[in-house]
Every structure is written in structure tokens, then in C-alpha cells.
Amino acid sequence: GNSVTQMEGPVTLSEEAFLTINCTYTATGYPSLFWYVQYPGEGLQLLLKATKADDKGSNKGFEATYRKETTSFHLEKGSVQVSDSAVYFCALAGAGSYQLTFGKGTKLSVIP
Amino acid sequence: NAGVTQTPKFQVLKTGQSMTLQCAQDMNHNSMYWYRQDPGMGLRLIYYSASEGTTDKGEVPNGYNVSRLNKREFSLRLESAAPSQTSVYFCASSSGTGGGGGNQPQHFGDGTRLSIL
């Protein structure tokens, strides 16, 4: 079956530091890949997505590139802010499937 | 901009009690989903409805039932609550149709925090 593995947290960074959260996946065919963000007390929000190999998703300064050869979709941001403190989830949807498979989430804390 | 609305936001039940979690979306989406979120487990799909009139089991359906009441509403019922069902429950919707539903982003409600004693 499909699975998503993302780096365990928590991750604590100083403001303006570089962020990488690793995500690798196992799936047959060509899944769609997503990053969702969850702020405290809220539901998940879509951060970015990529639907085919070599696509780069980007939003709010965050980027992730769909790497078929390494089955990865790492999340990066060049300069984090305190407001980026949240839990980040990597997820995939198998081709033609309605089901999202989530990683366990990575909690990011950014300190001033 | 209501999006996906879940009620109630908090609930405490005793073991063996029943309850229904309500979810409504105003985005005219075809597909709706129920997840549970437990510490260290990410989100796990309980049931989903690809379109009005259809429902299917997800990864962890045992102990739950669902009803797709109409295109807007998708409810989750616990018939006899157990402490293992203590969790945060999220409803989501997406515009997916046909076989391509999975690559459409899902929009989430703010969750129902359920404790079962």
C-alpha cells in the first residue's frame, strides 16, 4: 500500500533560518503529492501540491519538488518567520484514488 | 467564507453512549471525508463519500457509520463510544469527480475534539 515517511520533530529554528523537512513516499504509479499545514487549534490547510514528476509546488515562500527518482517531496523555505510555527504534513493521493495518505507530521517552532 | 463547518467543537461522552458529528460544506464539492487525528499518528481516513449517494470505508472504519445526507452534509456516527475513539475528528471536502478525486486539494474543518471516559 501507499505510505509517507517524514522527518520526526519537533524542529526548532531561529527566525530567518533555512528550513528543510524531509518527506519520502512509497506508492505505485504516479501519485499526487501535497504539503498541508496545521496551526494550533485549527484544521489542515493546503500549503502546496505537485501532480507529476519534476513539478515544483510553491506558496508563501515554501517550495517542494516532486522527485520521482528518489521518491521524495522535501519542503524548503529560505527564511522562516515566527508565524510559520505549525505542524506540517506531507501527503499523497494515489493515481485515481480519493484517499489521502498522510505522514505523521513535523512540528516546527520558530523562535525570535 | 464558511468553507467546511463541523459541530460540535468539543464533546465529552461516557463509554457506551452514542453521538453524531455533523459536517457541512458550502463549496459545492462532490467528495467529503472523515479523518481522525491522534498524537504521533498523523491523520487516518475513517470513511469517505466520493459523490452524493455513495460512501466507502477508509483505513479505520470499525466502530463508525456515516451518512451522506445530501451534497452539502456528511455525518459521522459513533453507535457505542469506546475510550479508544478519543481523538480529534476532522471533516474535509474536495471538488474531485470521477476517478481523479485524489489530486484535488482537500479543505478541512476546524475539528471536533471528542473525549470518551
Residue B1 has a pLDDT of 65
pLDDT average, residue stretch A73-96: 94
Q: Which residue of A has its CA nearest to B99?
A: A96
Mean pLDDT of B16-33: 94
List all residues 6 or more positions away from A34 whose beta carbon is below 8 Å from its beta carbon.
Answer: A46, A47, A48, A49, A90, A91, A92, A93, A100, B105
Place of cell 480529534: B88
A-B contacts (CB, under 8 Å): 64
CA distance A13 to chain B (A): 21
pLDDT tens for A19-68 read 999 999 999 888 999 999 999 888 999 999 998 899 999 999 999 999 99
> Per-residue pLDDT for B103 more than 80?
no
Residue type, A36: Y
User: Which residue in chain A has the smallest CA separation from B5?
Assistant: A43
- Identify the band that residue A100 occupies on the pLDDT scale cut at 50, 70 and 90: confident
Banded pLDDT at B97 (limits 50, 70, 90): low
How far apart CA B109 and CA B91 sit, in angstroms, is: 6
Contact B90 A44 (CB under 8 A): yes
